[in-house]
Structure 1
Amino acid sequence: MLKILIIYAHPDPQASQVNRLMLAQAAALSHVTVHDLYACYPDFFIDVARERQLLNAHDLIVFQHPLYMYSCPALLKEWFDVVLTKGYAHGDQAALAGKIWRSVITAGAAESAFSQSGYNRYPLEDILQPFELIAALCQMQWQPPLVLYWARKAAAATQHQHAKTYRQWLEQPLLDDQSSVEMHHE
């Protein structure tokens, strides 16, 4: 079984019911490690050696976070900048080569907002391209993201189903990559 590391970044985790549901499902799995960046580094001083040990010990890395200003929360961006440096993750060394990257995103808008005719003007896949490029730079295998659109307004049943879908994927992440990608929306 693949060892999975979930790097969770949410500056206000109590405000996200669906993320709490998803993390509860993930934490119940023995091959999954949940690593909450804001709980570990409220001062933004990241222990780079510790983070790299965690990455090295896992096969599949999940970056779970809300979409913030078309990107990730600030601490996760800082984490990318100080942990995934040249000489470790890319360049002469590629410590993460062959590992799998998957973004798990909660978005505050409906799926229709992420289109040329929507107010965000671009599909979410386009907005997430910088993450896909970081994965490629680190020679990691990119998997399409798992997204819950309109996360705050999603019905409780939708949130629970999304958490269940997430757990099922965590239980068998490589069974069928394409069928595991479900974009839920209201």
Structure 2
Amino acid sequence: MTTTTDPGGPTGSIYVLAAHPHWRDSRVNRQLLQAARGVPGVDVNDLYGTYPDFAIDVQAEQARLARADLLVLLHPIQWYTMPPLQKLWLDDVLSYGWAYGRGGRALRGKDCWLVATTGGSEESYHPQHYNRYFFDAFLPPYEQTAALCGMRFLPPLIFHGARSASPQALAAHVAVFRERLAGYPVWPELEHLADCVACEVPASDRPQEHEEA
């Protein structure tokens, strides 16, 4: 398990959940992972390193998440969404009765921050280009996952064109990420963000909690 912790660090409590199926082939995410490991007070989890068999320790993950004020989802965008192990983590860890639904208040008031990369350029996310939509069109699943858990979804940090960006642009992006982690929760824009929205799940939608749809 890959963890970096320093209870005496200057940051708020942060849990970075990093997911990349092929770290050796990563140009940007690998540097972001290394930057997160270097920030005091940040708990860093390389999901594919921790769970190569995809057998997630739910209790351990819930404990780490419960201790954090900020959850960082760090990954490349693959087929317009997150890598499969990160999706499995959400399925298993954000359980009904713990993260959302009746009695599920463990994450209320926390923050969620998406830090992602795309292979395509920013211009490719346009109605007149091959991705056909602005990038914001792919954010609702992230936003609503946070909302259902009572979390505030912070403005994402997206790095487009990861395969072709210049070394200077990459270095500047990594520096911004590191500074953001080190400075949390003292981000000026957070003062203007609305509180977490209330998304209560009616009991009628989950009449028998242990049955699958």
TM-score bracket relative to the smaller structure: over 0.9
1:182 maps to none
Determine whether 1:13 maps to 2:29. no
- 8 Å contact from structure 2 (residues 19, 83) kept in 1: yes
Residues 118-143 of structure 1 show CA distances to partners (whole Å, capped at 9, x for unaligned) of: 21111111102101110000000000
1:87 to 80, 85, 97: 97
Answer whether contact 2:119 2:160 (CA < 8 A) is retained: yes
1:118 to 126, 129, 132: 129
Pick from 18, 23, 36: which aligns with 2:33?
A: 23
1:48 aligns to what?
Answer: 58
2:13/2:68 contact within 8 Å kept = yes
- Shift of residue 175 of structure 1? 2.0
Aligned to 1:152: 163
The residue type equivalent to 1:176 in the other structure is P
Task: Return the letter of the residue paired with 1:150.
Answer: G
Residue 145 of structure 2 is aligned to residue 134 of structure 1: yes
SS at match of 1:22: helix
Segment of structure 1 superposing worse, 14-23 or 162-171: 14-23
Aligned to 1:175: 187
Query: Contact between 2:40 and 2:182, CA under 8 Å: does it hold in 1?
Result: no
Deviation of 1:116 after TM superposition, in Å, equals: 1.3
How many residues align? The count is: 178
Q: Is the 8 A contact 1:143 1:177 kept in 2?
A: no
SS at match of 2:21: coil
- Deviation of 1:57 (Å): 1.0
- Structure with bigger strand share is 1
CA drift at 1:27: 1.0
Give, in angstroms, the shift of residue 16 of structure 1.
Answer: 1.1
Letter in 2 for 1:10: H
Of stretches 87-96 and 167-176 in structure 1, the one that deviates more from structure 2 is: 167-176
In structure 2, list runs of 5 or more residues that go unmatched.
1-10, 191-213
> What is the aligned partner in structure 2 of residue 62 from structure 1?
72
Preserved CA contact (<8 Å) 1:65 1:104: yes
Unaligned runs of 5+ in 1: 179-186
Once residues 155 and 14 of structure 1 are traced to their aligned partners in structure 2, the CA distance between those partners, rounded to angstroms, is: 19
Number of the residue aligned with 1:106 = 117
Question: What's the C-alpha RMSD, in Å, of the aligned pairs?
Answer: 1.1
Which SS does the other structure have where 1:152 is aligned? Answer: coil
CA distance in 1, matches of 2:78, 2:18: 14
Conserved? CA contact 1:16–1:152, under 8 Å: no
% identity of equivalent residues: 39
Partner secondary structure for residue 55 of structure 2: coil
The answer as to whether partners of 2:36 and 2:181 remain within 8 angstroms in 1 is: yes
Task: Find runs of 4+ consecutive structure 1 residues off by over 6 angstroms.
Answer: none
